[in-house]
Amino acid sequence: MSNVFILVDHASGKIANTAGELSAFGKRIGGVTALVLAEPGTGAAIAEELKAFEIEKIIIVENVAFSQHGIPAIADAVASVLASHSPKA
């Protein structure tokens, strides 16, 4: 069961190097769930890139509000996902 959540940083459809680093550190604690917050229609491609890191579970939330409203929309999405799960970290 995944108990460590990581927020995947990405730009222009490419994940940041930090995704691999966070995944590696998270695996020291337990199973890793990656949270991908993306524009509509782009989350699946980002999730495909993440498969290289052998992440246990990937949650994709696509919403146009992320680019329109920035941090408040992102914070709301993260809070909603974490409220419905019980991550250890």
Percent of all residues in the chain with a pLDDT value above 70, rounded to a whole number? 97
* 3 neighbors 31 (Cβ within 8 angstroms): yes
pLDDT at 88 over 80: no
Mean pLDDT of the chain: 92
Q: Where do the domains of the chain lie, and which CATH numbers do they carry? A: 2-83 (3.40.50)
Tokens of 31: 């199973």
88 to 28, 29, 65: CA distances (angstroms): 12, 8, 28
Q: What is the pLDDT of residue 2?
A: 59
Tokens of 30: 């337990």
Q: What is the DSSP letter of 9?
A: P
Q: What is the pLDDT of residue 1?
A: 55
pLDDT at 89 over 70: no
